[in-house]
């Protein structure tokens, strides 16, 4: 997924002028920072769909809370609603 095709969420995407000055954190062509990409992958592994994982990765959602909800048997759709 390319960053320029998605609405910016908490600054994880954006134009080159909005990217971090640190080249190691620019995330490459998709516009995602390393942290945002890692969070996205973590939410995907928990069972969230691509769109929900992307939204959660770019938000203040607590990944630890997401893990506890899913481990406790919470459906990802309900967990998404709780986290957002």
Q: Within a 13 Å sphere around the CA of 16, how many CA atoms are in the beta-carbon half?
A: 3
With a CB cutoff of 8 Å and minimum separation 6, the contacts of 24 are 34
Is the per-residue pLDDT at 44 higher than 90? yes
Q: Which pLDDT score, from 0 to 100, does residue 4 have? A: 39
Burial of 23 (C-beta count, 10 Å sphere; 0-12/13-18/19+): exposed
Q: Which pLDDT score, from 0 to 100, does residue 83 have? A: 97
pLDDT band of residue 5 (cuts 50, 70, 90) is very low
What residue spans define the domains of the chain? 3-83
């Amino acid at each position: 997924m390319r960053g320029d095709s998605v609405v910016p969420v908490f600054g994880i995407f954006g134009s080159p002028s909005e990217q971090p000055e640190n080249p190691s954190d620019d995330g490459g062509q998709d516009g995602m920072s390393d942290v945002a990409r890692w969070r996205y992958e973590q939410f995907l592994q928990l069972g969230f769909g691509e769109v929900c994982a992307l939204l959660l990765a770019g938000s203040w959602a607590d990944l630890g809370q997401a893990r506890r909800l899913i481990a406790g048997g919470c459906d990802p759709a309900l967990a998404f609603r709780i986290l957002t």
